[in-house]
Amino acid sequence: MGTPPLSPETEERVALLFPPNQQEIVRTILLEECGNNLPFLQKLDAVAMERFRYAALKLSHGDLVKLRNAVDLAKTD
């Protein structure tokens, strides 16, 4: 199973939280590092994956460093 794509709702949150020049890197982080590669999430579909991506976005408060920290935490939690 491949990494679930970002939903329209996730895309909307990315657009609300991050400036246009950072949105592509945010999408890349969410797709490549906050997907089915997280521990115990290998079998989740796109809808179930949203919960974890939303949490990372919420913790980021629109800051790339905080987003990376949230994703790093998800990798160990």
Query: What is the predicted pLDDT for the residue at 5?
Result: 84
- The answer to whether 30 and 41 have CB atoms below 8 angstroms apart is no
Which of 9-13, 36-40, 70-74 has the lowest average pLDDT?
36-40
Query: What is the predicted pLDDT for the residue at 37?
Result: 67
**Segment 26-57, tens digit of pLDDT:** 999 998 877 666 656 666 666 777 888 899 99
Alpha helix positions (H), 1-77? 8-17, 20-33, 46-60, 64-76
Over residues 46-74, mean pLDDT? 89
Rounded to two decimals, what is the model's pTM? 0.84
